[in-house]
Amino acid sequence: MIEIGEESWENLWDDDDLSELIGEHIELFAENGVEFEIDSKEYQDLAIRNMLQVIVARQDSRLVGYCLMRYQNHSHIRNFPIAVEDCYFVSKKVGFCRGKILLDLILTSFVLAKRRGIRKVYFTSDDSIPTEKFLRFAGMEKIWSIFEIDLAGV
C-alpha cells in the first residue's frame, strides 16, 4: 500500500531509506551529465524558517518517493506567496505505479500549499519520468520551461 503524506525535514533526513533513494536520484542525474547534491544545511535552514514542505511516498512504511517544495513571496509582486518545487523523485523500484505516485505527490503539494495560502505553484519537468504529461494532467500550464497552476481556481 502506498501512503502519501507530509513529514518534517528532520524525519526525512534521519530516514534510513533516504540514502538509497537519493543514490538512485543522483545516478539518474549523472546519466544526464548533471551533478546532483543534497545540501542538508540549506534545507534545515528553510525548515526552521517554515519555508520548506516535505512530502513523501511510502510503500509499506519504506520511503519510495519525495517532493520538496520551497515557500516564498514572489520576487516582483508584493504579498503574493508562491511554492516552487525544489526536487522530486520516485524510485524506479516501485514499478508500474511510479507515475501514480508522482501524480499523488504533485497533487498533495497543491493541497498543502493551498492550506498555507499559497497563490501559485511552480514545477519544472523531470527527465526521470516523462513528467510533463503528469503536470498537465494535474492542471498545470506550461509557461516557457516552467509549469504553473493558480490555486485560486483549484
Find the CATH number of the domain harbouring 55: 3.40.630.30
d(C-alpha 1, C-alpha 50), whole Å: 30
Q: In the structure grid, which three cell numbers stand for residue 67, read together?
A: 517532493
Phi-psi label, residue 144: left if phi above 0, alpha if psi -120 to 50, beta otherwise = left
Q: Is 114 helix (H, G, I), strand (E, B) or coil?
A: helix
DSSP state of 132: H
pTM: 0.87
d(C-alpha 152, C-alpha 90), whole Å: 28
- Show the domain range for 122: 2-153
pLDDT for position 154: 65
d(C-alpha 123, C-alpha 6), whole Å: 18
- The answer on pLDDT for 131 being more than 60 is yes
- The answer on pLDDT for 128 being more than 70 is no
Instruction: State pLDDT tens for residues 38-91.
Output: 888 999 999 999 999 999 999 999 999 999 999 998 888 888 899 999 988 999
Q: In the structure grid, which three cell numbers stand for residue 103, read together?
A: 501524480
| Tally of domains in the chain | 1
Instruction: State pLDDT tens for residues 115-124.
Output: 999 989 998 8
pLDDT for position 91: 93
Burial status of residue 60 (CB atoms within 10 A of its CB: 0-12, 13-18, 19 or more)? exposed
